[in-house]
Structure 1
């Protein structure tokens, strides 16, 4: 396969992105708000809990934003830990509980109080001359976890029972940092009806693709990575392949590729789904399935 045919197919795939796919994505909650400051806060929260089955993610976020009212920014600026712990006492999203959610809301409040907004807090550790956001994410997560959470936990360190640090992974640990990379894609890519374009301090060329199970599998089919672990090395390897297609905005392909799995049913084993897939012409997996099917 050659890059130009792949690029043409993937460019056409991006053109098929739809409101239906957006509605089936945690990013949809950010589009509920017009004010960029509300969208920024909504993006931090929505991306933080974007793990697990998409239906569960959407229900979790619905419960959070229903409680926060018309302005997430105003809510976090006025957030009080004591009341939050009462209000979100029953909250649960897999292994994160109400205390973790309140710690995130408190974290956002502190970021805003220290830097004016989340972008400026992030940019304190960002190098706009770096090839990508690897070190920026390391610094951001370190700084976020170093804030004072004693009003939530009653101690300077996080108790072993808290899963709050899971919300701020870092590349230096080897994590793919899927949710943080997704957050950066949402806020730093140009506004295009899907992504928000509300940050100006990070170049889209520096972004790293958020690697979930769908991206890892589909990009493996396309030969963008041969690695089996969904880790930071895999994320950078896939991004490097996409950068050959678009050096200025490599992760613009992420939403469309991910929704082949999230919304369109691509699982790599269903011949009907493969036959209807818009990237079937460049995906060797369709040929493999067809061969297996003929041999049955």
Structure 2
């Protein structure tokens, strides 16, 4: 296990750098210094983070361009009808203008009720919680309750038992702070985070011996997180960005990772 940690730490030192972020929707968060804007951008970018990465970047860019320099001000100062008209014709794979409009009205509801997405999330935190699952359920239910219409999968239903990859990705961006993850939600310890599980991280988790499960659901995500927690108890998601470069970047083949890890 120590040997694996040494290998992962070495990869982290090499690849956990800004120059390896593109192409990744995380890059949009760097353009916003105000945490109220950054959390909205993070939620939008992670919600649309499925499909081909080029299309993801195009869709996120389109939404943010229409929201102007401050997504927070846009949502707070726009009537629902104005939000609806702004994104008329929007389409990103399975999500259309109605889904986006519903999700944005849900965010607007949270901002009106709590002042920020962070303040809403914190309300759902229980001191007994070992992971963010409980407060994520609270958070997404609150957003859903404020949606005008059906947001579809843009607002994750945590209670259904899926891996909730995009929502855990959002949490990583907002909670962790290093050379890549911008952070800002500083009252939530990184130790509570869960690995954002997709096909690539599932394959890596199996390769590292952290899980034998074939289904990429929340149970598998927790098993893989537990494996990483043995290496980094205070920060089990530390290596997520580094390892997923092998699934995102054209110049970093995931099939070469096992050779690099000598597994």
**Superposition TM-score, scaled by structure 1 size:** 0.84
Alignment partner, residue 22 of structure 2: 23
Alignment partner, residue 9 of structure 2: 11
4+ aligned runs moved over 3 Å, structure 1 = none
Q: Which has the larger radius of gyration?
A: 1
Alignment partner, residue 173 of structure 1: 160
Gaps of 5+ in 1: 159-163, 269-273, 285-296
CA contact (8 A) 1:188 1:198 kept: yes
The reply on whether 1:185 has 2:185 as its aligned counterpart is no
Q: For residues 250-265 of structure 1, what are the structure 2 equivalents within 5 Å?
A: 250-263=236-249, 264-265=251-252
Gaps of 5+ in 2: none
1 CA distance for matches of 2:68 and 2:199?
A: 33
Alignment partner, residue 289 of structure 1: none
Following superposition, the deviation at residue 265 of structure 1 comes to 3.7
Q: For residues 107-118 of structure 1, what are the structure 2 equivalents within 5 Å?
A: 107-118=106-117
Alignment partner, residue 213 of structure 1: 199
Following superposition, the deviation at residue 82 of structure 1 comes to 1.4
Question: How many residues are aligned here?
Answer: 261
Alignment partner, residue 189 of structure 2: 203
1 CA distance for matches of 2:241 and 2:17?
A: 10
CA contact (8 A) 1:186 1:197 kept: yes
CA RMSD of aligned residues (A): 1.6
Following superposition, the deviation at residue 148 of structure 1 comes to 5.2
**Superposition TM-score, scaled by structure 2 size:** 0.94
CA contact (8 A) 2:25 2:46 kept: yes
| 1:75-129 deviation per Cα after TM superposition (whole angstroms, max 9, x unaligned) | 1111222122222111101111112112222111111111111011111111133
